[in-house]
Structures are given as C-alpha cells and as structure tokens.
Amino acid sequence: MSTNITAINIRPAVSNREIDKTLVLSVLFSVALIMARMVYTGTLTYVFLIWNIFLGALPYFITRTISKNPALTASRFRFILVFLLWLFWMPNSFYIITDLFHLGSTPNMPRWYDLALILSCAWNGLLLGVLSVRQMEKILQERAPKISGWWFIVPVMFLNAWGVYIGRFLRFNTWDIVSNPFVLMADILDMLVHPVENRYAWGMVLCYSVMMGIMYLTLKQLSRAIR
C-alpha cells in the first residue's frame, strides 16, 4: 500500500521591511483620524497623540537600527549605553494605552469616532513596544544568553509600568531625567521609602506590568504559531 505525501509550501517569515510598511500604514491611519477630527471640529484636542506616537516609536527605531547595524554596539560600553537609552524611552510606547482616559472628555464628536481614534493610537504604541522589546530580547540573547527570557521580560515590563505611572499620574516625561532630575528622584524615592502610603500606585504598576507582560507573550506566541 502506497502513501501519498503532499508537500506543504511554507511561506518565509515576514520580513522587517513588510512589518515596517504595515506599521507606517497603521500610524498613517491614526494620523488621518486625528487630522479629520481637527478639520471637523476646528480644535486641536487630540493632536498631542501624534507626538505620543512619535515618542512611542523611538524605542523601535533604536532596536531596529542596532539590529541592522550590530557594529554600533560592538563594545560592551556602547551596548550598555544604548540599552539604557532604550530603557528610558521604552515606557512611551505602552504609555499610549492610558490615553483611553481621555475618551468622552470632549462632546463635540461621536464617541465611537474618538474610541476608534484613541484605540488605533494605543494599538500602534502597543505594537511598537512589543516589537521593540522582542528585538531587544533577541539582541540580548546573542550577547548574554543567561539574561534572556523571564530574567529580561519581568524587570523590563515592571519598569515600563512604573514609567507609565510616573508619566500619567506624576506627570513627568523622559526629558525630566535631564531637566528636572531632583524632583523626579524625590518622587521615586517617596514611592520606595513609603510603599504602604503609595499602595495604590504600586497596585497600578503591578497590574499594568502583568497586563503588558501577558500582551507581549501573547503576541510573541501568536507570531510563532503563525510561522
């Protein structure tokens, strides 16, 4: 008895160029929604989201650049410097999720439109963040295999969530690391020294770190499953 085996053609993994094209299309859609809202209402209500998307894209630009040009971080010192720079900017990608707080703050547009607008921006931030973290995880696996996996994801997502809290509720931004470091450090130390008084803040940080970690792992596993 003979058995016929049908060959299965498996398409190659999606290239980085194709991913970049999709990201650009998604970002342009968000920008188009913002611009259309601005023209319709004559206000600049959600224009700040364009800046937030730009800030959220910076970590992806960093990891994309060093992935294409490994020589940029050939030395340990340069790698640590770039890694810290990436880590400082990283919370900006996930921060856009909290812009959903603004939904319903202005009554001059249908709520469904503003929901689509803010969700599309949050989705872009999430994608840029997940892709950047994944790229950095791969880069770190090559340089320090023992620090990859959970040893990398857990602290990074915790620091991301902490950065989101500092930005959303303490109203600091990345520039304050240079322009206003003493006040920033004072508020951070207050959270560390008085954890009980700041239990709601730590609750938010823990909740968001777990949520973002699950989002990351889900998209990572879905990517592997599709391949």
Q: What DSSP string describes 33-46?
A: HHHHHHHHHS--TT
Q: Which residue has the higher pLDDT, 94 or 109?
A: 94
First vs last Cα of the chain: how many Å apart? Answer: 33
User: What does each C-alpha distance from 125 to 64, 97, 107, 132, 177 come to in angstroms?
Assistant: 15, 7, 25, 10, 22
Among 99-103, 106-110, 115-119, 147-151, the range of highest mean pLDDT: 115-119
For residue 223, pLDDT beyond 50? yes
Residues of the chain above pLDDT 70, percent? 93
Q: What is the mean pLDDT of residues 182-197?
A: 95
Q: What is the mean pLDDT of residues 50-57?
A: 96
pTM: 0.87
Report the mean per-residue pLDDT for the chain: 89
- Residue 197's φ and ψ, nearest 5 degrees, are -65, -25
For residue 29, pLDDT beyond 60? yes
The domain spans of the chain are: 16-226
* 66, 139 contact by CB (below 8 A): yes
Q: Which pLDDT does position 5 carry in this prediction?
A: 37
Q: Which pLDDT does position 144 carry in this prediction?
A: 83
Q: How confident is the model at residue 224 (pLDDT cuts 50, 70, 90)?
A: confident
Alpha-helix runs per DSSP H in 90-180: 91-95, 111-143, 150-168, 176-179
Cα angle: 206, vertex 177, 97; to 5 degrees: 40
Q: Which pLDDT does position 72 carry in this prediction?
A: 86
For residue 3, pLDDT beyond 80? no
- Residue 114's φ and ψ, nearest 5 degrees, are -65, -35
Q: Which pLDDT does position 107 carry in this prediction?
A: 79
For 165-185, the pLDDT digits (tens) are 999 999 898 888 888 899 999
Q: How confident is the model at residue 31 (pLDDT cuts 50, 70, 90)?
A: very high
Residues 186 and 184: their CA atoms lie apart, in Å, by 5
Q: Which pLDDT does position 149 carry in this prediction?
A: 84
Q: How confident is the model at residue 226 (pLDDT cuts 50, 70, 90)?
A: confident
Q: Which pLDDT does position 16 carry in this prediction?
A: 81
